[in-house]
């Protein structure tokens, strides 16, 4: 299993749903889990750390 963490500046509609942790730091965090094997992706995609 691979976990992909992402942080972005919040949009106006996300501000009301931010946690205290996110408000303190000014970023919105999201984590996605995928079942990509440990061998990785076949293609070199930007943002995957394979380039």
- Cβ-proximal residues to 32 (8 Å cutoff; 6+ apart), any chain: 3, 4, 6
pLDDT of residue 41: 56
- Cβ-proximal residues to 10 (8 Å cutoff; 6+ apart), any chain: 18, 22, 26, 27, 28
Q: Are 12 and 24 in contact (CB under 8 A)?
A: no
pLDDT of residue 46: 63
Write out pLDDT tens, residues 3-42: 888 999 999 998 999 999 999 999 999 998 887 666 665 6
Q: Answer whether residue 51 shows pLDDT above 60.
A: no
Classify residue 18 as exposed, middle or buried by CB count within 10 Å of its CB (0-12, 13-18, 19+): middle
pLDDT of residue 22: 93
Q: Are 26 and 19 in contact (CB under 8 A)?
A: no
Q: Report domain extents, the chain.
A: 2-34
């Amino acid at each position: 299993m691979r976990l992909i963490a992402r942080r972005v500046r919040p949009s106006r509609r996300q501000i009301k749903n931010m946690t205290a942790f996110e408000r303190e730091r000014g970023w919105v965090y999201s984590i996605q889990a995928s079942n990509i094997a440990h061998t990785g992706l076949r293609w070199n995609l930007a943002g995957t750390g394979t380039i």
